[in-house]
Amino acid sequence: MNKDTRQSMAARMGRGTRGANDDVPRDQVNLVTAMTSPDAETGESTWTTRLVLFLRVMAVLSMIKGLYHWAQITGFIGGDESAFEAQTTQWQTATVYFAVIELVAAVGLWLATPWGAVVWLTTIVSTAVIELMFPTIYGGNLFAVLVSLILLAAYLVLAWFSARERPP
């Protein structure tokens, strides 16, 4: 904060000039200065920053997964044997579902909105259900489920610590 702003605040607090005995207004000005610092204005803190960074990384991963599913649908990847039309209806349905929901989750996660986390949670639960309960569709990849659950646990820990930093 510059000198003119401090003097202006001091004048509004009842002191036009600061002298040797004006420690109280100076403390008030310093308090106002601390309250209007960039961290206080945005409400950002270290755990909140870490949470937003984590959400952005998850958004990029969700976008990659969504684009991968769209590449499968459009035929950019895979040969004639793995063409979208040659797959079962269940596989096609799951692939289209994940192609759409992963990209929606990516947008929500990038914006760090609550609905983005909910849609991302829906993709994690959907992946777990398809991989564990219907292994014939995608092959029952337990590693994908485990990684998803670890990322979900990391999100919950970061969200918990971020919420604890904010005053009630």
Say how many domains are in the chain. Answer: 2
Are 81 and 121 members of one domain?
yes
134 vs 88: CA distance, rounded Å:
13
Are 135 and 112 members of one domain?
yes
Report pLDDT for 82. Answer: 78
95 vs 75: CA distance, rounded Å:
12
Are 58 and 121 members of one domain?
yes
Are 83 and 12 members of one domain?
no
- Looking up tokens 């289209």 gives 96
- For range 100-115, the mean pLDDT: 97
99 vs 162: CA distance, rounded Å:
30
Residue 127 banded pLDDT, cuts 50, 70, 90: very high
**Angle separating helix axes 114-133 and 46-74, nearest 10 degrees:** 50
Q: Which of 6-10, 119-123, 152-156 has the lowest mean pLDDT?
A: 6-10
Are 26 and 60 members of one domain?
no
Domain assignment of residue 85, given as a range: 46-165
The answer, as to whether pTM is greater than 0.85, is no
* Burial classification of residue 160, based on how many CB atoms lie within 10 Å of its CB (0-12 exposed, 13-18 middle, 19 or more buried): exposed
Q: What is the pLDDT of residues 74-96, one digit of tens each?
A: 988 877 777 888 888 999 999 99
Rg (CA), the chain: 26
Are 69 and 120 members of one domain?
yes
Are 88 and 130 members of one domain?
yes
Are 58 and 115 members of one domain?
yes
Per the structure block, which two tokens stand in for 79?
Answer: 């040969």
* Burial classification of residue 152, based on how many CB atoms lie within 10 Å of its CB (0-12 exposed, 13-18 middle, 19 or more buried): middle
- Is the pLDDT at 112 greater than 70, yes or no? yes
Are 107 and 133 members of one domain?
yes
Contact 152, 121 (CB under 8 A): yes
